[in-house]
Amino acid sequence: MASIKKLSTGWSARISWRENDVLKQKYKANFKTQREARKWATDLENKLAHGIMVSPKNIIFSDYFHEWFKTYKESKLASQTINRYKIVERVIQNFFGRQKIQKIKRRDYQHFINEYGSTHAKDTVRKTNSIIRACVKSAILDEIIFKDFTDGITVTFDKTKNVDVEYLNLSEIQSLIQLNADKRNIHFTSRYMILTAIYSGARLGEIQALTWKDINANWKTININKAWNYHQGGGFKETKNESSKRIVRVNKQLIDWLLELKQNGSDMVFMNQFNRIPSSNAVNKTLKQSLKELGFNKHNFHFHSLRHSHVAYMLSQGADIYSISKRLGHSDLATTTRSYEYLLAEYKARQDDKFEQYLDLMQSCCNEPSSKAVK
């Protein structure tokens, strides 16, 4: 129950609640207005109702993570991402045990990252650290802790665990296109989905969710505005984030192939003869068969690798990274550079050669430089 009082120095607020039959209170003063004091109390009571504001001095880190996940994250996440959060919760439990969140120091967290990173790949450590950092920042907003013990941490990892996603070079892409174009069948739409991924760089769920309203044959564009919930049996869902909603320009050849599927009589572009959208397993099976037929030895290649191949091809043709980022639907340029840093390293090496040529051209328009230095 909130208690708001007028003081000589302003307004104060106090909330009270019971925890294990013990009365707990939280108090704050020096609010300038009654409205500010009441808002502070109301916000804390709402958090208390959701299980967040338990005794501020006795919150176990893993318990807070669990409540934070349930309150702020679970309802917004796909099942695959939910599983990742649950794994992170177990990781916290295993390392920190019953340690209180208020007792964790920056040094403790660096020890955790060092230990966890010693047996995990860079991407795994980075994602785990990102999730925990979001939780810790929430704890600061909840006024449970006052310093971010994850700030300035060095992410360490086991380099031997890193696996670069494989991608196809230009001749391999052309062979894969030719094979799937030659074997396309309107009743089995997986090959059309593979071709769409190659030409658009779109994610699997985005391709599965396409309707004919999303295809503009005149402008040769694909409007990506939703995704397919293939992890939970199908149905539309929101895109990965707001920036994922985008219009992707393709070419006439892909549009012509897609228009063949209108004969199936469905509002969904890739509905097959079984009145289903091909699943992740189905399209990956077709993709693996295609690679085998072509004699491509790609151990870690799957449908999402077509997106990587799209990026690799665009970079090889000189497309700038900003345009590629927008085409992929990334929220910012940092996401693109982080996701494709191994490709960008190759791209940078090629660009360095061009930069040398650019510098030579600057000099070519001038007279032979003097051997005497200007004093």
Whether residues 95 and 217 share a domain: the answer is no
Which pLDDT band, with edges at 50, 70 and 90, does 338 fall under? confident
Q: Give residue 164's pLDDT.
A: 65
Q: Is residue 322 part of a domain?
A: yes
What range does the domain containing 26 cover? Answer: 2-49
Residue written as token pair 């994850």:
150
Which of 161, 181, 199 is the endpoint of a domain? 161
Which pLDDT band, with edges at 50, 70 and 90, does 13 fall under? confident
Whether residues 235 and 180 share a domain: the answer is yes
Whether residues 199 and 301 share a domain: the answer is yes
Cα–Cα dist 68/139, whole Å: 8
Whether residues 174 and 133 share a domain: the answer is no
For 123-161, write each residue's pLDDT tens digit.
899 999 999 999 999 998 887 888 999 999 999 999 887
Whether residues 301 and 261 share a domain: the answer is yes
Domain holding 90: CATH number? 1.10.150.130
Q: Is residue 360 part of a domain?
A: no
Q: Is residue 55 part of a domain?
A: no
Whether residues 238 and 259 share a domain: the answer is yes
For 99-110, write each residue's pLDDT tens digit.
999 999 999 999
Which of 140, 161, 182 is the endpoint of a domain? 161
Cα–Cα dist 195/171, whole Å: 15
Whether residues 194 and 307 share a domain: the answer is yes
Whether residues 221 and 291 share a domain: the answer is yes
**pLDDT at residue 180 is higher than 90:** yes
Whether residues 90 and 191 share a domain: the answer is no
Summarize the confidence of residues 213-221 as an average pLDDT: 97
Whether residues 41 and 87 share a domain: the answer is no
Whether residues 86 and 205 share a domain: the answer is no
Domain holding 191: CATH number? 1.10.443.10
Whether residues 314 and 175 share a domain: the answer is yes
Q: Which of 200, 209, 130, 117 shows the shortest CA–CA distance to 161?
A: 117
Count of domains observed in the chain: 3
Which pLDDT band, with edges at 50, 70 and 90, does 7 fall under? confident
| Whole-number CA gyration radius for the chain | 28
